[in-house]
Amino acid sequence: MNMRFWPLTVLSLLFVSLTSHGEIALLSGFVSKKENGYVLVEEKTSKRYDLRALNSETIENLKHLKHYDYISGYGEIKDNQVVLLESIDYVGLRRILGLWQSTENVLNFVSFRSVKIVEQLQFISDLGILDLLKEGTYDYAISPGSNGSWRVFFSDSSSVILASLTLSAKSDEARLEVYNSSTGEITKELILHKVR
């Protein structure tokens, strides 16, 4: 598969919901944590399923999610009550929604799929004045990474930008490392602070 179109393929698959019972299917919805595990709340119908991960990688990925984060992945529905989850391919992280600032950019994660990135000339928080330059809107997809980080694919009509996102234990800080897709080298690192 051409990597350039991968995020768009993932984004187009997100509109598929719990489609099949008793066979492997694309599943999507919101994860809710409960005392002894997880619940998947189906996106369109709000039907609740007990959620069980089938492998250690999926278990680890679930541990990094917060209450009502969004997931899309493959699994099986058993007895119309339980989802046996094999993989998590895409996530929507509620805590990144909103406005984030670095020394160079302001990122507004508008939804689980859209982000507006602006390069700032001046940000005066005391007065609330924001002078902007080069505004761009991107589609993005987040997938599980390693060691608690997330892989992020930003795309517009002409390019795909690969990055790694690490959220700090503090809910208002994050690190975004942008990669050269040919060499894998980090080309830019942004330390982000949540504005609102």
Q: Where in the chain is the domain with CATH 2.40.50.430?
A: 3-92
Confidence of residue 135 (pLDDT cuts 50, 70, 90): low
Task: For the domain made up of 3-92, give the CATH fold.
Answer: OB fold (Dihydrolipoamide Acetyltransferase, E2P) (2.40.50)
**Between residues 145 and 170, which one has the greater pLDDT?**
145
4: confidence class by pLDDT, cuts 50, 70, 90: very low
The pLDDT of 91-103, averaged and rounded, is 93
CB distance 27 to 38 below 8 Å: no
For the segment 94-119, the average pLDDT, to the nearest whole number, is: 90
Residue 122 is predicted with a pLDDT of 43
Better-scored residue on pLDDT, 19 or 37: 37
| Amino acid 15: pLDDT | 36
Task: Report d(CA 137, CA 173) in Å as an integer.
Answer: 22
Looking at every residue in the chain, the average pLDDT score rounds to 81
20-24, 111-115, 182-186: range with lowest mean pLDDT: 20-24
pLDDT at residue 18 greater than cutoff 60: no
pLDDT category at 47 given cuts 50, 70, 90 is very high
User: Does CATH number 2.40.128 belong to domain 95-194?
Assistant: yes
Beta bridge partner(s), residue 28: 72
What distance in Å separates the CA atoms of residue 73 and residue 96, rounded to the nearest whole number? 20
Residue of 124 and 42 predicted with greater confidence: 42
Task: Give the pLDDT confidence score for residue 61 in this predicted structure.
Answer: 92
When pLDDT is averaged across residues 28-32 and rounded to a whole number, the result is 95
Half-sphere exposure of 17 (CA within 13 A, CB side): 10
Which pLDDT score is estimated for 170? Answer: 76
More confident residue, 125 or 26: 26
Every domain range in the chain assigned CATH 2.40.128:
95-194
Quick one: pLDDT at residue 120?
Answer: 63
**The pLDDT of residue 143 is above 60:** yes
Q: In this predicted structure, what is the pLDDT of residue 41?
A: 95
